[in-house]
């Protein structure tokens, strides 16, 4: 590559989260980095965009800083849209989102603000990767995964991605053993069995707190859940064309 690649970095945990700071550090070894990330946590926002409120964009990096950083009052998808429309001087060569504090494997990809930011970049024709670590601790150790983040990002820059896809990369939370390797996976069939914890404020007003149990219904050894449970990094290629192509022929037999 004749010139340094332009890399857009974003996330959903906020611009101050340790995960994005680790990602910025790795990307700065590869190319020219511009950061546009939410000014406050935006987890589980999915592909939401702001249409009924104003958006604020604030430069937070110092003058003459090597890396330009902006905080945005909107969602992760807003951040990508604002970066492309208002900040970047050319189309980025890569967009990376994360590193998320917590897994975005299986059905979680639907709810994930981290992955929705990557998908938005993909829609714009930008190769994109969402990175997540299966550790919800704010002070999680991101050092062990930096080498893998760099390797995966460089491979995407070198080889590109299939049109209409982005990568969903999840890292296992390790206890003692090292990461065993990387597995190219499919999304596991799993779901959340949810319930609402009903409570009452001191003033007598009822409110609800969402809780739930994650249920993996998939016993396959080619899934992201299996990989994470066995100390492998999972990479799932995610398509954002939601058409159920296999159902078209069946629907064409119906009498509408």
Cβ proximity of 154 and 204 under 8 Å = no
Collapsing DSSP to helix, strand or coil, 115 comes out as helix
Cα dihedral across residues 164, 8, 143, 114: positive or negative: negative
Domains and CATH numbers, the chain: 6-188+220-251 (3.40.1210.10)
Cβ proximity of 100 and 117 under 8 Å = no
Instruction: Sheet with 128-133: list strands edge to edge.
Output: 57-59, 68-72, 32-38, 6-10, 94-101, 128-133, 165-171, 232-239, 181-184
pLDDT of residue 176: 64
Give the tokens for residue 16: 């101050």
Q: Is omega for the bond preceding 45 within 30 degrees of 0, making it cis?
A: no
Residue 140 burial (CB count, 10 A): 20
Q: What is the pTM of this model?
A: 0.93
Q: Mind listing the pLDDT tens digit of every residue in the chain (256 residues)?
A: 458 999 999 999 999 999 999 999 999 999 999 999 999 999 999 999 999 999 999 999 877 788 999 999 999 999 999 999 999 989 999 999 999 999 999 999 999 999 999 999 999 999 999 999 999 999 999 999 999 999 999 999 999 999 999 999 999 997 767 899 999 999 999 988 888 999 999 999 999 998 888 888 889 999 999 999 999 999 999 999 999 999 999 999 999 9
- Integer-rounded Cα radius of gyration of the chain: 19
191-205 as b/e: b if 16+ CB within 10 A: eeeeeeeeeeeeeee
Give the tokens for residue 6: 């332009």
pLDDT of residue 1: 44
């Amino acid at each position: 590559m004749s010139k340094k690649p332009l890399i857009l970095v974003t996330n959903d945990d906020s611009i101050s989260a340790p995960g994005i700071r680790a990602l910025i550090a790795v990307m700065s070894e590869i190319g020219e980095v511009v950061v546009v990330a939410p000014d406050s946590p935006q987890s589980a926002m999915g592909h939401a965009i702001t249409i009924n409120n104003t958006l604020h964009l604030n430069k937070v990096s110092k003058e003459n800083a090597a890396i330009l950083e902006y905080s945005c009052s909107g969602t992760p998808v807003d951040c990508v849209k604002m970066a492309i429309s208002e900040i970047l001087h050319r189309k980025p060569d890569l967009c990376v989102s994360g590193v998320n504090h917590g897994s975005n494997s299986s059905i979680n990809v639907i709810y994930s603000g981290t992955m929705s930011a990557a998908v938005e970049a993909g829609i714009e024709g930008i190769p994109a990767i969402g990175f997540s670590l299966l550790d919800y601790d704010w002070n999680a150790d991101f050092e062990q995964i930096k080498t893998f983040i760099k390797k995966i990002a460089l491979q995407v820059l070198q080889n590109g991605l299939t049109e209409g896809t982005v990568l969903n990369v999840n890292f296992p939370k390790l206890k003692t053993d090292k990461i065993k390797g990387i597995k190219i996976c499919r999304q596991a069939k799993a779901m959340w069995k949810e319930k609402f914890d009903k409570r009452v404020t001191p003033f007598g007003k009822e409110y609800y707190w969402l809780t739930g149990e994650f249920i993996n219904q998939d016993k396959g050894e080619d899934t992201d859940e299996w990989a994470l449970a066995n100390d492998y990094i999972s990479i799932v290629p995610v398509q954002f064309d939601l058409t159920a192509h296999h159902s078209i022929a069946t629907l064409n037999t119906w009498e509408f």
